[in-house]
Amino acid sequence: MGMDFSTLRSLISRFCAGEENCVDTRTVYIGHKEPPPGAEAFIQQRFPDNRIVSSKYTFWNFVPKNMFEQFRRVANFYFLIIFLVQLIIDTPTSPITSGLPLFFVIIVTAIKQGYEDWLRHKADNAVNQCPVDVVQHGKVVRTQSRRLRVGDVVQVKEDETFPCDLILLSSSRDDGTCYVTTASLDGESSHKTYHAVQDTKAYKTEREVACIHATIDCEQPQPDLYKFRGNINIYMGNEPVSRSLASQNLLLRGATLKNTEYIFGVAIYTGMESKMALNYQSKSQKRSAVEKSMNAYLVVYLCILISKAVINTVLKYVWQADPNKDEPWYNEKTETERQRHILIRAFTDFLAFMVLFNYIIPVSMYVTVEMQKFLGSYFIMWDDEMLDEELGERAVVNTSDLNEELGQVEYVFTDKTGTLTENNMEFIECCVDGTVYEPDAICNGQVMPGAADIDMIDTSPGPQAKERAELFFRALCLCHTVQVKEEETVDGIKHGIHQGKSSSFYISSSPDEVALVEGMKRLGFTYLRLKDGQMEILNRDDEIERFELLEVLTFDSVRRRMSVIVRSSTGELYLFCKGADSSIFPRVISGKVEQVKARVEHNAVEGLRTLCVAYRPLSPEQYEQVCHLLTRAKLEFQDQDKLVAEAYDLIERDLILLGATAVEDRLQEKAADTIESLHKAGMKVWVLTGDKMETAAATCYASKLFRRSTQILELTTKRTEEQSLHDVLFELKRTVLRHYGAMARDTSSGLSSEYADYGLIIDGATLSAVMRPNQEDSNSGNYKEIFLEICRNCSAVLCCRMAPLQKAQIVKMIKASKEHPITLAIGDGANDVSMILEAHVGIGIMGKEGRQAVRNSDYAIPKFKHLKKMLLVHGHYYYIRISELVQYFFYKNVCFIFPQFLYQFFCGFSQQPLYDTAYLTLYNISFTSLPILLYSLMEQHINMDILKKDPSLYRDIAKNSLLTWPIFIYWTVLGVYDAIVMFFGAYFLFDNTTFTSNGQLMTTNTQMMFGNWTFGTLVFTVLVFTVTFKLALDTHYWTWINHFVIWGSLVFFVVFSLLWGGIIWPFLNYQRMYYVFMQMLSSGPAWLSIILLITASLLPDVVKKVFWRALWPTTTERIQTKRRCLASEPSTIFMLSQTSSRISF
C-alpha cells in the first residue's frame, strides 16, 4: 500500500470532477483543431454542454424530493405520525379524521409545485432548443443551442442573442468592432462597443473563419461580468502570435448584437458555466414569517399535548392502583390485556390520549391557510388600480405562499434602469455663458407633447454670444461616441438624416449622449455620421461641416469626463471636453464660471443630470506633444491604465468654459411618491444598479431617495485609492454615529429634514473588498459589520456598478444581519433575477428587458408605482387577516379540547370522548371553519384609502407584531378560561341529580335527563356559539356575505344536530345521540345556562379591549374610533371586480 490516502483522494477527485476543476485556466481549441506538432501538448478537457437548467425537480426525483420537503414541515410530519398511530393501535377516534385532511393538503401542494416546475422545464426547453448557427468544415450549419460545445465557432446575426460566452473573432464591420446591448445582464440598455482579436478581424466569411488555427488560454469561469483574463495563440507561421484578451473581447450569453450585420465568435464558456448562469441563484422554497410563527406555536402546543397525555396516563394508573377500580364489573380486562407488560400498556394508553387530544393542533388550520392564500391572491390580480392600460397587463401572483409577507417588509432593494426610470432620456435645456436655451422637449427623436415651441437661438443677445452658442452646439455634436443607425426604406434605398424625413436614429453606450445629440438637432445642429475618420455635422444653414476625429479620450468613472481632439476643415485643432461639474470647473481658466455654476446647481436641485462643456484650442506643437504622451502611455504593458490616466490628466487642462446641459432620465410615473411612501412606512430603500455612479445618483435625487438635506457618504474605488479601506470605513462610521440620536428621531418622524440624514454610495469593487475576509490584518476588525453599522444609520443606500450576483450578496448580507429583517427585491431584467430569488419577497416588473424577472419572481406588477398599493394596502390586509386566522384557530381548539382533558378526571381516565364522533369530525371542517376563512379573505379593519394616505400605519404591524409571544399567550389563556367556564358551568348545572322510575338520571333543577352525551352536547353547543360570537366581535367590516356565513354556520349546527339526533340512522351501529339534542333544548333552564355561559366566556375579552383601547390605543385603533364617531357613510368597499356580475365586499 505505497499510495497514501491523500494521493488516492486527489486522484478520485480529479477523475470524478474533471481535470479542468483542478487548474486555474482552461485551454480552448478553436474549431476543435489540434495545435501543430511541437507547439504544445494537446490535452482535451471536459466541459459541460450548453444546456441551461432552472428547474428544481426531475421526473425521477419529484415524488421523493417533494415528499421530503413537505414532511419537513413540522405540522405535516406530526399529522403523519398521528395517522400512523391511529392505524396501529385501538384509539378513541377513526384514522380518517387525521388521514383525509393530511393527504388532501399533501396532494394539492404537490400538484401546485409540480405545475410550477413544469413551467420552468418548459421555459428551459424553449431556451435550450432555440436555433444556433455553427461553422463546421467551412459551412454554416444550424443546430440547437443545447448542442453547442466549448471550441465551436458560432455565427450570430443582428438582433440575435449570444447563445453562450464567446470570444469575438471578427465582425461585418471593417474595424472589427460590434455593438451590443447588455440590458438582460446589467440593466444597461445602451449600446456598448466590443473589439475582435486584431489578427482575426479580417476573416469575414465562414470559409475564412474555418481556416483559423488557434488556441485560447483563459481563466476558469467566474461570475464577475466586468472581468476577464486570457490570451490567444494564433498559428500563422513557424512562430505562434500571442495576443492578450480582455473583457472588451468577450461577448456574454444573454447580450444582444446591435447595429452589426453579423459576427463570428468561439465558445469558451457554455451552459451553467456561462457568466449569466453563474449569476443566477438557485430557486429555494421561501417561507413567510407567519409560517415560522405557526411552526413555533405548533411546537408549544405539541408540548402541551404531550403534557396532557403524560398527566392522564400517570393519573390513570394511579386511579387503577385500587383493585376495585382497576377492573370494575362493566369493564373487565381480557386475558391478553392482563398478560401484557405494564410499560406496553402505559405506552399504548399514552398514544391513545395523544390521539384523543390531538385536535388541539388541527390539520384543518393548514388547509384553511392554504385556501386563504390561494383565494386571497386573486384580489391582487383582480385589482383594477394595478392594471396598466398601456401594456394591457395586470398584476400576477406566482407564489401565493408569501401574501402576508408583503405586510412585513423592512428593506426594499430596487433596480434603477427600467424599474425606477423608464430609461428614456429627455433633453431639457442648455446654458451657454449664462444664457439658457430651451428647445422643444425631445425624446428618441420625437417631439414630446406639451413642450414650448421656441427656438432660443434667434433671440440670443448679440453676434458674439451667437458665435459662442454655435461653438457650444458643435462641441456637443462632436464630443461623444454616438453611432448613427440607418434603417432601409421599403425600396431598399438608405436615406440619411439630411435627406428629407429622418429614417435614422442614434445609438450609444450612454443614453445621455443620445439625448444631447438629439437636443442639438432640435437647436439646429444635426450630427450625421462618422465616415472614414470624418465627423459630419449639418448646421443651421443646411451646410455640411466636416471635422477629422484625431483622438478620443474615453470616459471613466474616476475622471468623470470625456474629450475628443478634432481638426476642422480650415485646419484648426480643438480639444472639446464634457463631464461632471466637479471634474470640469477645477480645470477651467476662463469663461463665465459663476453664471454657469449657478445654473448647474439650480438644475441639480431639480433632479436633472448636468454636464459641463469646455474647450481648448490646440497649436500643432501642442497636438504633437499630446500624441507623444498618448502613444507612450498605450505602448506600456505594465501599469498601462495608470499611465493613460496621467496622460489624460496632463492633456485636459487650461480649458475655456462654454456652458452646461441638463438632461432628465424620466422617472416612472409616481416613482418618487412611491419611494416617499415607503420611507414613511418605515422601510429602508436601497438602489442596486449596474449603472455608473453619476447616472444612478442623479436618479436617486430625482426619485427623492436622496433629499436636498441628505449628506452623501461615498465608499467608492476613487476614495479607497486615496485612503485605505480600513480608514474610510472607520471615518464613515464615526460620521454617522455622531448624529445617531438625531437619526433615531428622524426615523420615528418619517425622516424629517430638520435633522441631518445620510445617504451612502458604494460601488461594486469596494463592496467586494468589504465582503472579502481580511486575512492580512487581523486587527482591522470585521469590515462587513462596520459596513452594516453605517448602512443602518443611513436613510438610503445606492450601490452602483453591481454585478447580478453582488446584488444577491447584498440582499443575503442584510437578511443575515442580527435584526433578521424582511427583505423585498424588485427589478425588471435578467440581471435582477438573483436578488429577486434571494430576497424574502421577489417582485418582477413587466418592463422592456424581457420576462426573466417576471418568471422568477413571486409577484409581478406592471409599474413601480403599483408597489405602493401592493405593500401598504394588500400586504397590510393580508397580514392582519392571517394573523387573526392563526391565533383564532389555536384559540378555538383550546376551547374545544381542554374540556375533553378536564372530562378525563370525571370518567376514570378511560379515554372516553366528551363529544360525539360527528361533532369531533365536523367542528373544524364545517361548524367553525367557514366564518374564519371568510374573515381572512374580506376583513378591512381600516379603509384602504386611509392606508394609502397614511403610510405610517404600516409601522403598526411591523416586526410580526400581531404574532408575538405575549399575544399568543393571551389567546391561549383566553381559550383555557372559556373552556373552564363551559365545562364547569355545565357541570354545576347537572350537579343535583335523581333517579327516574325507569332508572335514568334526571337533574332536579332542570328536569332534563342527564347522561354523558347530553353533558357533552351542552358543552359543545356553548362552545360553537362562543367561538363564533368571538369572531363576530373581532369583525370590523360587515357585508351581507359575513352575516350569511356567520349566522348561517350557527343555523347549520342547530339543523345538523336536530337531524343527527332526530332520526335513527340505519348505517350506524349505535344510536347514542338519538333525541339528545331535542331533549336538551326542551329544558328552559338549559337555554338560560347556554346564554349565561356564552356571556361569561366573552365578557373578559370585551372588557379588556375596551380598557386597552381607552388607555393604550394604537394608531390604527385611534383611526377606527375616530371613523366610528365621524363617518356616517359606509367605508369604501374592496371590489373583487368592477363588473356587476362579480361579488363586491
Q: Which residues are catalytic?
A: 415
Count how many Cα atoms sit within 13 Å of the Cα of residue 857 in the half-sphere of its side chain.
Answer: 25
Question: Which cell goes with 669?
Answer: 410615473
Residue 786 backbone phi and psi in degrees, to 5: -65, -45
Distance CA 37, CA 413 (A): 55
Question: Which cell goes with 548?
Answer: 477629422
Nearest Cα neighbor of 832 from 215, 334, 265, 420 is: 420
Cβ neighbours of residue 1028 closer than 8 Å, sequence gap 6 or more: 928, 931, 1046, 1049, 1050
Cβ–Cβ < 8 Å for 165, 266: no
Cβ–Cβ < 8 Å for 842, 284: no
Cβ–Cβ < 8 Å for 482, 190: no
Nearest Cα neighbor of 584 from 605, 568, 600, 570 is: 600
- What is the Cα Rg of the chain in Å? 38
The three-class DSSP label of residue 8 is helix
Q: Which helix (H) or strand (E) holds 808?
A: helix 804-815
Distance CA 605, CA 250 (A): 40
Written as one letter, the residue type at 670 is K
DSSP code string of 1001-1045: EEETTT--EE-HHHHHHHHHHHHHHHHHHHHHHH-----HHHHHH
Work out whether strand 544-553 and strand 561-568 pair parallel, antiparallel, or are unpaired. Answer: antiparallel
Rounded to the nearest 10 degrees, the angle between the axes of helix 511-522 and helix 463-478 is 140
Distance CA 274, CA 283 (A): 18
In the DSSP assignment, the letter for residue 767 is: H
Cβ neighbours of residue 772 closer than 8 Å, sequence gap 6 or more: none
Count how many Cα atoms sit within 13 Å of the Cα of residue 15 in the half-sphere of its side chain.
Answer: 6
Apex 334 CA angle, 329 and 339, nearest 5:
125
Cβ–Cβ < 8 Å for 305, 357: yes
Cβ–Cβ < 8 Å for 423, 665: yes
Work out whether strand 131-136 and strand 442-443 pair parallel, antiparallel, or are unpaired. Answer: unpaired
Cβ neighbours of residue 746 closer than 8 Å, sequence gap 6 or more: 752, 754, 755, 757, 795
Distance CA 705, CA 675 (A): 7
Cβ–Cβ < 8 Å for 651, 377: no
End-to-end CA distance of the chain: 80
Report the length, in residues, of the chain.
1145
Distance CA 671, CA 416 (A): 11
Distance CA 1108, CA 26 (A): 70
Residue 687 has a CB neighbour count (10 Å cut-off) of: 27
Distance CA 792, CA 739 (A): 13
The three-class DSSP label of residue 1124 is helix
Count how many Cα atoms sit within 13 Å of the Cα of residue 517 in the half-sphere of its side chain.
Answer: 26
Residue 200 backbone phi and psi in degrees, to 5: -115, 0
Distance CA 170, CA 1069 (A): 88
Distance CA 695, CA 961 (A): 39
